[in-house]
Amino acid sequence: MTRYGSSQPQLRPRNGIILVVGIVARISGCANQKELSLEDQIDHAKQVVAEMYDGPVEFRVVATKGKGERLDRPELADIQQMLRAGELDLLIVEDIGRLIRGAEAVRLCGIAVDHGTRVLAPNDCIDTAQESWEEDVISASRDHVGHNAHTSKRLKHKLMNRFEKFGGATALVPPGYEKPEGTKTYDDWRKIHDWTPIIQEGLRRLRASLNCSAVADWFNEVGMTLGNYGRRKAWNGAKVRIFYHNPILKGMPWRGSRETVKHNETGRRISVKSPKGPVFRACPHLAHVDPILFDEVNALLIAKNANRGRVPVNGTDPLWRVPRKRTRFPGQYARCWFCGRHFVWGGNGIADNLQCSGSRDWHCWNSIGFNGELAAKRLVSVIADALFSVQGLEAQFATMVRAVTLNGADDMARNLRLLESSEQSLARDKENWAAAIAQYGPRPMFHEKLLEIEAREQALKRDRYNLDKLKGRKLLLPESIEDLRQQLEVKFQRLTIASPEFGDLMRELVPEYHVYLVRLLDGGHLLPRARIKLDLAGSIPDAVHVPGLNDLFSREVTLDLFLKEPQRERIRCEAVRLEAQGLTQRQIAAQLDDEKPKLPVVQEALALDRRMKELGLDSPYVMVSEPPEDYTKLRRHKNPRYGFTPLDGYERPSL
């Protein structure tokens, strides 16, 4: 271990009282790594500091699990914020790869140097107090990246060699097979003979219909198991397609069909098809179906779905190598009010529409879609209107900010006392329950209580971490409501609606997005509408530390997601006004030049208005809580495979 002694520049706290040291500890989270490794890294860092400085020290520890290549880890943003705020006198990591791998480490160290924070990495002999620090960081980063690359190649080659040589490096066990305990090769696997007739009949049905969903229904009827690794409890079309795509069914397990490539912008690893193609191994004892029939069915399915992909843009798939979870807003964010599931893109076969994912799986009857781009544009307009509506609250906002600024130290001390009291209470509870277990032995109630104590401990650790981050730091708040509005306007202008970054911003400003259905009093089409909760302070990092600020900037709004209202509703108010002037219905139709309604539409508009007045309603729209029997376009709930199943734990919010 490198020793830091008198030859090194002396450490001095910038506040003249206490040295503030940031410690970064990280493990990748692999199966063989233990939490104890994080403690070892922290102890090592404290030992280095003790050798260099004998005064009072305040440690701010960032201990996490995550891959070193990942540039989108949240703790990196926290570390960068601390560096820019000048909170740290020293940042220490065991080796620079614990902070981040690659050239990004040079940039972070540069930020530290620019803001007066010294960085130490003892195992890499890096000290930014030395003139050669940049060369040292580049050299260490090269070594870490090279080590990872070489290790990856070695493991891939070793596993492929085992597969080709004796059928090792097996995959997860698919349905229809069993892996005896202790076995390590495909030669030791066994097929479940009782399932062979069902698998063969399923392939025959798939050959006849080329309909994976129909085979999935039949599998569910006969009780075909999904295996030990399926998240779902029932088969669907996608699961059937994956199952019958696996060549192990014809006795040819494979390896190497996919590989990972690095997405350099985020550091994520993305799974893509291997250009070399897979390697097969003959295992005839695992064959459930005839190989010729297997290949024929897969060729027919590929041909059937050949023109079902996304339309290329400039000859390229617009979502090429884009992670599936990195979707456009409001995809995978807007929720169905009825079942609680997310809306996803591609609703009813239209690429730009969203549809409840529950309806795709026959768990929800709401299959009405809406245009996602239109919804995003209207939401931006609603947020802009809401920002202007809070302009009159300038004095109230200033009072809140002033109060938290003046009382910041007192609030910090009070919160710290409460936290310490809770930590002491937790320590007593742990001692008492440990004594009880030692006296009475393990019991079910003890296990439940220990889980509860563990959850409390994790919550207190988060609170401690958040309080430590706030120590000696000025809260980052807009100077005024006008300043907040300008910040958001700049972001809206800079981001395109289709960009993932726009979705990140909207998720901060829109904590709730529930979609439900409405209909005019006199019937007609079902129309999507959203109940949206706005948090205009969501983009302010420190808004949670200002009591009442979130309530001040919170709004609940209703957003129409349909393209335009039915014509009878668009002309209703004007038709009623003209009728009150004594005009006949034909004259009213002639007067409405912009809409050019037919006579029956005018009659329907007037009748709709009369019906509203009879019921004492201000709006002609009524909520649809169940599938209307008179609406012939909605028949998903009539399908035998349908069964309304809300998301586990979902409770419908009030509208």
pLDDT tens digits, one per residue of 199-220: 999 999 999 999 998 899 899 9
Specify the domain boundaries for CATH 3.90.1750 within the chain: 167-304
Query: What band does 391 get if pLDDT is binned at 50, 70 and 90?
Result: low
| Alpha helices, DSSP H, located in 390-443 | 394-406, 408-440
Judged against a pLDDT cut of 80, whether residue 401 lies above it is answered with no
Residue 75 has pLDDT above 80, yes or no: yes
State the maximum Cα–Cα separation within the chain, in Å, rounded to a whole number: 101
Mean pLDDT of 93-122: 92
Considering the segment(s) 167-304 as one domain, its CATH architecture is Alpha-Beta Complex (3.90)
Which CATH number describes the domain made up of 19-148? 3.40.50.1390
Residue 408 has pLDDT above 70, yes or no: no
Mean pLDDT to the nearest integer, 128-150: 91
Quote the tokens at residue 97: 């790869």
Mean pLDDT, residues 561-587:
92
Domain span(s) for CATH 3.40.50.1390 in the chain: 19-148
Q: Which two tokens stand for residue 268?
A: 């994520």
Give the pLDDT score at 118.
94
Contact predicate 92/49, CB 8 Å? yes
Q: Before 253, cis peptide (omega within 30)? A: no
Q: Is residue 241 over pLDDT 70?
A: yes
Residue 2: its pLDDT value, please? Answer: 44
pLDDT, residue 307, reads 76
pLDDT of residue 284: 95
pLDDT exceeds cutoff 70 at 323: no
| 582 CA to centre of own chain | 59
pLDDT at 636: 87
Instruction: Identify the burial level of 298 via C-beta atoms within 10 angstroms of its C-beta, where 0-12 means exposed, 13-18 middle and 19 or more buried.
Output: middle
Indicate the average pLDDT of the chain.
Answer: 86
Residue 410: pLDDT above 70?
Answer: no
Contact present, 636 and 362 (Cβ < 8 Å): yes
- ∠ CA 621-627-628, rounded to 5°: 65
Between 436 and 89, where is the model more confident? 89
> Residue 390: pLDDT above 80?
no
Cα separation, 447 vs 24, whole angstroms: 33
Which pLDDT tens digit goes with each residue over 468-479? Answer: 766 656 666 777
Handedness of CA 595, 598, 603, 604 (dihedral sign): negative
